[in-house]
Amino acid sequence: MKLIPTLFAGVAFVLSAVAAQAEVRFGVMNESYPPFFAKDASGQWQGWEIDLMNAVCEEMKEKCSIVDVSWDGLIPALQSKKFDVIWSSMSNTAERSKVIDFTDKYYNTPSTLIGRKDQKPGATADDVKGKTIGIQVSTIQSEYYKKYFSVAAEEKTYQTLDEAFQDLASGRIDYVFGDSLALDAFLKSDGGKDCCAKMGDVADDKEILGAGVSGGLRKEDTELKAKLNSAIAAVQASGQYGAITKKYFDFDIYGAK
């Protein structure tokens, strides 16, 4: 007779374990990256990428949650199954595709160089000769620097863009190199609008800069990839993508088809 409660307890445990896994966990970098994602005063994640995630989850009819880790820990955390998809403005590059898979693109913007207003405009090796460029570690811009700028300028790496922005504003470095939208947000901020300006977009190199920002997945998660791709397409077709984008930008951030 005592086996029956034990059996029910075992069934309940299995069901609760299944329920606990019945959500899609999205991995996000644990620092502010406005306007894509940032925590508000109550500690809740907000921003364009979060709104898009919510729309995609609603389309998939899935419960979703956010797990935040450091930028350079995102791929290792995905591989160790701490979450299910990287949703953190990560570009789909050939190098990253060797170790993880990607969804279809959900936005694409240029890589840009910004600097103090007394710097010469331009975004070539000749323009930055003898200068110091601040770059976040483990980014496509760091790889681009190695190929195009390393012969002319010094690289100073940072764990976060905010640290690079602080050094730029104080004059400790000459430039910051990163995604145009994140850098533009800094230029519009109180800390950046007086000191700094856009120097220019760098020449495109898809092998390094990638084919746009996508969700990162474990290679074996083909079913989840198909669901995400279908949901991303549906959100675009329904007009939700455009409505979300208009809340944050006055131009198209999807890029060329």
% of the chain at pLDDT higher than 90: 86
Burial class (CB in 10 A: 0-12, 13-18, 19+), 237: exposed
Evaluate if residue 46 carries a pLDDT over 50: yes
Look at residue 16 in the predicted model and tell me its pLDDT.
43
Distances (CA, A) of 168 to 39, 176, 187: 24, 7, 11
Return the pLDDT at 162.
94
For 129, half-sphere exposure in the C-beta direction (CA atoms, 13 angstrom radius) is 3
pLDDT score, position 102 = 98
Q: How far apart are the first and last CA of the chain?
A: 65
Instruction: Choose the weakest-confidence range: 7-16, 37-46, 58-67, 71-80.
Output: 7-16
Residue 6 has pLDDT above 70, yes or no: no
Q: Please, are residues 55 and 75 in contact by the beta-carbon 8 Å criterion?
A: no
Token representation of residue 77: 């955390």
User: At residue 151, does pLDDT exceed 80?
Assistant: yes
Q: How far apart are the C-alpha atoms of 70 and 160, rounded to whole Å?
A: 9
Query: Residue 120: what pLDDT?
Result: 87
The pLDDT tens digits of the residues spanning 178-236 come to: 999 899 999 999 999 999 999 999 999 989 999 899 999 999 999 999 999 999 999 99
Long-range contacts of 154-159 (CB under 8 A, 24+ apart): 156/132, 158/134, 159/70, 159/71, 159/72
Please, are residues 136 and 178 in contact by the beta-carbon 8 Å criterion? yes
In order of start, what are the domains of the chain with their CATH numbers?
Answer: 23-106+215-248 (3.40.190.10), 111-204 (3.40.190.10)
Taking the model in full, what pTM does it have?
0.77
Distance in angstroms (rounded) separating the CA atoms of residues 57 and 80: 22
The number of CA neighbours under 13 Å toward the Cβ of 18 is 5
Q: What is the pLDDT of residue 250?
A: 87
- Per the CB < 8 A criterion, the answer to whether 255 and 241 are in contact is no
